[in-house]
Structure 1
Amino acid sequence: MFSSRDAFENDACPVADDLLGQMYRANPNGLSLLVANVASDDRARLALFCYKRSHLHALALAIASSCSERDLIYFGGRVGSTLYALSREPARTTAASHSHRKPITLSTKPLASFAPIVDEFDDEDVSDAVTV
C-alpha cells in the first residue's frame, strides 16, 4: 500500500491533459461518461490528483464517487480514505455552505472629504531657491 506521502509526491496527471480538460468542462452527465472510460486504478489516482488542487476539488469528489474505497486507500492512504468519505456525503448547495457568513454591505456615502491643498511659498523660501 502506498502512503499518503507517496501518492502526493508523484505529481503527474494519470490521464492526458485533453481528457482532464474535457472532464473539467463537462456537465455531470457527460462527466460520468468520460470517467467510465478510465481504468479504475487511473480513476483513483486522478481523483487524488484533482483533490490536491483547490480549483479541481469538485471534480475530485465527482471522480472519487465512482471509485472503490479500496482503490482510493491503496493509492492515497488516509487522504484516499478521506476523499472516499467526502465523495459519499450528500451534496451541499453553495448557499448552505456560506449561510454562516454575514452579508457584505457597501457604503453609499463618500469615504472622506478633504480640503484642497494650497501650496503657498514664503518670500524667504523663494529667495533661498533662487540663490542656490
Structure 2
Amino acid sequence: MTYTGLIASDDLDTGCPVSLDLLGQIYRADAETVPDLVGTLPERTQARLAVYLYGRSHTFALGVRIAATCDGSVLRRVAGLIGACLYDLSRQQGTMPSYGSERSVTPKRISLGGPQVRA
C-alpha cells in the first residue's frame, strides 16, 4: 500500500464520498451547473469527490472540473501528490480529453473488394 498524503492509494477505490443520488445529479448536470451542485459540499468532500471521479476513466473530465472548484491546499491535504497534480491539471487550458470526438485526419477509404488489377 502506497501513501499519498492523508489517503492511501487503496483508498481511491473505496467508496464515493457523496450519496449516489447526488452523484447521479452531478454526473447528469451540464458543465455550468456542476459548480453550483458541489458548491454546497464541505471543501474536503469536494476534494475527495474530485479525486474519486478523477481516478475513473469515464469520469476523469468531471473530476478535473470539480477540482477546478477546490482550493489547492485542500486538494493537497486530502490526496497529497495526486491532489497537487489534480489541482494543477484543473487550472490548465485545454486539458480535457476528447476521446476521439474530433478527428484531425481524414479517414481512409476501405475497400473489401481486394486489389484492383488494371489491364
Q: State the shift of 1:104 in Å.
A: 3.3
- Read off the aligned partner of 1:56 and give its amino acid letter: T
- Read off the aligned partner of 1:4 and give its amino acid letter: T
Q: Which runs of 5+ in 2 are unaligned?
A: none
2:24 counterpart (21, 31, 44): 21
Percent identity over the alignment is: 33
Separation in structure 2 between the aligned mates of residue 68 and residue 7 of structure 1, nearest angstrom: 21
| Aligned counterparts, 1:29-68, within 5 A | 29-68=32-71
The question of whether the paired residues in 2 share the 8 Å contact of 1:47 and 1:61 is answered with yes
| Number of residue pairs the alignment of both structures matches | 108
1:105 aligns with 2:108: yes
Larger of the two Rg values belongs to structure: 1
Separation in structure 1 between the aligned mates of residue 83 and residue 66 of structure 2, nearest angstrom: 12
Moved over 4 A (4+): none
Deviates more, 1:102-111 or 1:22-31: 102-111
Q: State the shift of 1:7 in Å.
A: 4.2
Per residue, is there more helix in 1 or in 2?
A: 1
Q: State the shift of 1:109 in Å.
A: 4.1
Coordinate RMSD, CA, aligned: 2.6
1:86 aligns with 2:95: no
TM-score, normalised to structure 1's length? 0.70
Residues 7, 45 of structure 1: alpha-carbon distance in 2 compared, 3 angstrom cutoff: farther
The question of whether the paired residues in 2 share the 8 Å contact of 1:7 and 1:75 is answered with no
Residues 15, 108 of structure 1: alpha-carbon distance in 2 compared, 3 angstrom cutoff: same
TM-score, normalised to structure 2's length? 0.77
Q: Which runs of 5+ in 1 are unaligned?
A: 113-132
Match of 1:74 in 2: 77
Separation in structure 2 between the aligned mates of residue 17 and residue 7 of structure 1, nearest angstrom: 23
Post-superposition Cα deviations, 1:24-83, rounded to whole Å, max 9, x if no partner, equal 110112111101111101000000101110111111011100111111111111110000
